[in-house]
Amino acid sequence: MTEVKRITVLGAGLMGHGITQVAAQVGRYEVCMRDIEQRFVDNGMVMIRESLQRFVKKNQLTQAQMSETLARIHSTVDLKEAVSNADLVIEAAPENAELKRIIFGEVDTSAPANAIIASNTSSVSITELASATRRPEKVCGMHFFNPPQLMKLVEVVRGAKTSDETTQAILKVARKMEKETVLVKKDSPGFIVNRILTPALNEAAELCWEGVADRDDIDKAIKLGLNWPMGPLMLLDYIGSDTVLAITEVLMHELDPKFHPSTGLKQMVKAQMLGRKTGKGFYDWTRDQNR
C-alpha cells in the first residue's frame, strides 16, 4: 500500500484551502497548496491563518500548534513543482469536468508513478477523470464537505478501475485527518449526499422562484419540519448556486431529465448571485447580521 507522507492540494479556494488546513493541522502531513495565480494562493493562506486563529481563540489550538501547522504548509503556482514529490494529489478545482480532465492529465505526467490522484469533485465521474491518466487504478474520489475544517464526512468514491489498495490508502488518510468515511462502491453521479441533497436544494430554489412561499418561510419550514440545522436556501448560499447548478446539470444529463435545474437557480447564476462567495444570493452576506 502507498504510504502517504506528502500531500499536494490543487486549488486554494473555498474547498482547497480548507483541505490543506485539515491535512496539515489534523493529519500532520507536509502539504503543498497550488493555484494558478499567486493572488489565489495568497488569499488561501490568509483564510487558513484566519481559520487557525479562530481555533486558537476558542482554546481548541495553541499558538505553538498554529505555528507548527503553518510550517507544514508550502505554496506555489508551479504545477510540476507542486506534484513532483507528492504521495497523494487532491484536486480541488472548480466543478468543471473538462478542466478537471486537463488537470488530471497534467498531474499524471508530472507526479511520481506511485502517487495517488484524488478528486474532491461532488459530481464528476471518477472513471471519466481516471481515463485522462495512465494510472486509473490509482485514481479515486475524496469528497470533503464545506467547510472541511469542521465537517466530519468524507465520501471515498471508487472509479471503475480504482484498486483496493488505493481505496484503503485514501480511507487511511481520511481517518488520520479524523474524518468519518463512507465508501461509494459504484461511480454514480452525485455519489450519496448530493444525489439526495441537490434535488432538495433545487426544489427549494424553485419554490422561491415560483412565489409559493417567501425565503424565510421555506427555510423555517425545513429547519423545523425536517430538523435541518439550516434552511435549504441558506445552505445553497453556503455551497454556492453555481456549484449546485453544476451538480444538478450532471444529474440531469447522466441520470434522468427529471433532475432539470430550477429557472430561478439558473437566473441567480447568470446574475452572479452565487451566495457567500459573491456577497449576495438568497441572503445578503454583505450585512453583518448574515455573516
79 within 8 A of 34, measured Cβ to Cβ:
yes
**3-state class (DSSP) for residue 243:** helix
Residue 246, CA atoms < 13 Å, CB-side half-sphere: 16
- Which listed residue (51, 120, 122, 125) is catalytic? 122
Would you call 119 a catalytic residue per the annotation?
no
How many CB atoms are located within 10 Å of the residue 262 CB?
A: 22
DSSP strands (E only) in the chain:
6-10, 30-34, 73-76, 88-91, 116-119, 139-144, 153-158, 180-184
Determine whether 155 is an active site residue. yes
Q: Out of 194, 202, 241, 262, which one is annotated catalytic?
A: 194
Catalytic site residue 59? no
Closest by CA to 277, choosing from 249, 237, 250, is: 237
Catalytic residue among 30, 91, 95, 155: 155
Residue among 51, 91, 125, 143 flagged as catalytic: 143
Q: What does the angle CA 176 – CA 192 – CA 217 come to, to the nearest 5 degrees?
A: 110
**Catalytic residue list contains 143:** yes
The catalytic site residues sit at: 122, 143, 155, 194
